[in-house]
């Protein structure tokens, strides 16, 4: 692999855009493609090129992919590999199932293409703040080759082993995310109904042993009720379903995850599809018989 490999980037949605932007800003030779071209175009300001057709990326040394679900990964990979040219290594970052990932590995191996499964933890703001983390699996050699690029995007990249192991790590992580956000909504509403302002309650929680980077960066949304999407309820439901499927297969009971999954489903059924998943707080307040108002208090998100 040359010192400055050419990098293809598929998918510049909320996550993919910020990840590709960090690569381009870091000096990588990036050629990006997105189904909706306009979302990729601003990457040109950081020196990235924008492709008209996905097949143009097949000539790159390394191709990253960050789309939505397995069906979308399958579709874009099919289009990428339509012609004769092919990359040397594919790094797939979307949150997908173990089975989908294994099918992709087979498809790529049949063409002699190396493959690293590399899902991530963190939202677009976390990427911008330089705090994203990768969890990777596949051949150790592919991880070592990819590492300089991964480090341009995120300070943390963990290698957890061969095959699709990174997928189950990411699925477990997002099951935890779903349970934690619902639990955070429940206790915040409980404290408020007892008379504690949300900003005061969360300020304490964030400094306690139970506070985390996650509870801190969700605090502005909970306090001031700004639910502009960082991660959609639909994508969270996908991940909770992947976790519950894995639990069924491996015979692991997951009562908390089941309940949290259905609360995300209920939120979607109420039409809250275009809001951030943290709007679970509003559903919880409604179920508790209180109407929340923005507190209009400036609170830190711990990222900037």
- Residues lying near ligand NAP in the complex (CB under 6 A) are found at 11-16, 34-36, 39, 66-68, 72, 75-76, 94-95, 120, 123, 230-231, 235
Reported residue count of the chain is: 304
Please enumerate in sequence order all residues whose Cβ is within 8 A of that of 197, keeping only pairs 6 or more positions apart, or say none: 295, 297
SS3 93: coil
SS3 123: coil
Report the residue number, 131 or 191, with the smaller CB distance to ligand NAP. Answer: 131
Taking the complex as a whole, how short is the minimal distance between the CB of residue 292 and ligand NAP, in angstroms? 23
Taking the complex as a whole, how short is the minimal distance between the CB of residue 60 and ligand NAP, in angstroms? 17
Report the residue number, 108 or 135, with the smaller CB distance to ligand NAP. Answer: 135
Taking the complex as a whole, how short is the minimal distance between the CB of residue 141 and ligand NAP, in angstroms? 25
Report the residue number, 66 or 165, with the smaller CB distance to ligand NAP. Answer: 66
Phi, psi of 48, rounded to the nearest 5 degrees: -80, 155
Taking the complex as a whole, how short is the minimal distance between the CB of residue 113 and ligand NAP, in angstroms? 19
Taking the complex as a whole, how short is the minimal distance between the CB of residue 126 and ligand NAP, in angstroms? 8
Question: Hey, which residues does 90 pair with through a beta bridge?
Answer: 63, 115
Report the residue number, 96 or 165, with the smaller CB distance to ligand NAP. Answer: 96
Nearest to 153 by CA among 53, 278, 266, 7: 7
Paired sense of beta strands 120-121 and 114-117, if any: unpaired
- Is residue 33 a contact partner of residue 40, using CB atoms and an 8 Å limit? yes
Report the residue number, 108 or 127, with the smaller CB distance to ligand NAP. Answer: 127
**Residue 99, burial from CB neighbour count under 10 angstroms (0-12, 13-18, 19+):** middle
Report the residue number, 16 or 243, with the smaller CB distance to ligand NAP. Answer: 16
Instruction: Convert 117-148 to b/e letters by CB count within 10 Å (16 or more is b).
Output: bbbbbbbbebbebebbbbbbbbeeebbebbee
Distance CA 7, CA 57 (A): 8
Taking the complex as a whole, how short is the minimal distance between the CB of residue 59 and ligand NAP, in angstroms? 19
Report the residue number, 3 or 228, with the smaller CB distance to ligand NAP. Answer: 228
Taking the complex as a whole, how short is the minimal distance between the CB of residue 242 and ligand NAP, in angstroms? 10
Residue in this structure with the two tokens 């990777």, named with its chain if needed: 136
Distance CA 210, CA 199 (A): 16
């Amino acid at each position: 692999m040359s010192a400055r490999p050419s990098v293809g980037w598929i998918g510049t949605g909320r996550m993919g855009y910020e990840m590709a932007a960090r690569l381009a800003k870091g000096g990588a030779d990036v050629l990006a493609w997105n189904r909706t071209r306009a979302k990729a175009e601003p990457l040109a300001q950081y020196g990235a090129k924008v492709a008209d057709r996905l097949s143009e990326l097949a000539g790159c040394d390394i191709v990253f992919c960050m789309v939505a679900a397995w069906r979308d990964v399958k579709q874009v990979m099919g289009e990428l590999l339509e012609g004769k040219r092919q990359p040397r290594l594919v790094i797939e970052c979307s949150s997908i199932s173990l089975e989908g990932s294994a099918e992709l590995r087979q498809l790529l191996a049949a063409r002699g293409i190396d493959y690293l499964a590399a899902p991530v933890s963190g939202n677009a703001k976390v990427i911008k703040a330089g705090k994203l983390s990768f969890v990777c699996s596949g051949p150790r050699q592919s991880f070592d080759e990819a590492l300089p690029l991964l480090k341009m995007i995120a300070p943390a990249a963990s290698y957890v082993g061969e095959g699709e192991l990174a997928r189950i790590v990411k699925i477990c992580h997002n099951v935890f995310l779903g349970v934690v956000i619902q639990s955070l909504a429940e206790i915040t509403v409980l404290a408020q109904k007892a008379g504690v302002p949300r900003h005061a309650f969360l300020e304490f929680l964030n400094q306690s042993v139970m506070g985390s980077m996650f509870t801190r960066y969700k605090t502005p949304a909970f306090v001031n009720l700004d639910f502009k999407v960082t991660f959609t309820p639909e994508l969270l439901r996908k991940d909770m379903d992947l976790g519950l499927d894995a639990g069924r297969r491996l015979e692991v009971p997951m009562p908390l995850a089941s309940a949290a999954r259905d609360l995300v489903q209920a939120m979607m059924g109420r039409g809250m599809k275009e809001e951030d998943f943290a709007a679970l707080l509003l559903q919880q307040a409604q179920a508790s018989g209180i109407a929340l108002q923005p507190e209009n208090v400036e609170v830190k998100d711990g990222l900037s």
